[in-house]
Amino acid sequence: MARAEITVTTLSRAGAKGTGVVGSALGAKFRNDGRTWLHLVNGAAGARTVTVVSAQEVIGLAVADLAVVVPLSSWIPVGLFPPDTFNQPIEAGMVYIDFPAGTESDITVWAFRP
């Protein structure tokens, strides 16, 4: 099984309705151009941490992943994602997202760009 791919939706003045992906144990991914941001929604009664996986190393040291705490029963916008830091080398142009173990389906994520 593979990570679910999030379709990136282009914003417009008329509005945009993206397609969200519900979190899973396998994680998710989206195509990143450096201008993409995420809309994370937590449907649970407790805070959840979503991890955007870093792919960069600096002088041989791994750059830490971005851990985003999504408050209980709310949403949060997150981004931007510099390609040299977040795009995965094994899957060019893709950014990986991991969800909290055991509570993955509490999170739904959309991806947007201008």
- Could you tell me the two tokens for 72? 């209980």
Cα(7)–Cα(32) distance, rounded to whole angstroms?
11
Between CA 62 and CA 58, with CA 38 as vertex, the angle to 5 degrees is 15
C-alpha R_g of the chain: 14
Whole-prediction pTM: 0.92
State the residue range of the domain holding 73.
Answer: 4-113
Contacts of 105 (CB under 8 A, 6+ apart): 22, 23, 24
What pLDDT does 75 receive? 95
- Residue 83 DSSP label: H
What pLDDT does 65 receive? 97
Cα(101)–Cα(99) distance, rounded to whole angstroms?
6
pLDDT band at 1 (very low <50, low <70, confident <90, very high): low
* Number of domains composing the chain: 1
CATH code for the domain of 62: 2.60.290
- Residue 44 DSSP label: S
How confident is the model over 56-70, as pLDDT tens digits? 888 988 899 999 999
How confident is the model over 79-113, as pLDDT tens digits? 999 999 999 999 989 999 999 999 999 999 999 99
Q: What 3-state class would DSSP assign to 2?
A: coil
pLDDT band at 45 (very low <50, low <70, confident <90, very high): confident
How confident is the model over 69-79, as pLDDT tens digits? 999 999 999 99
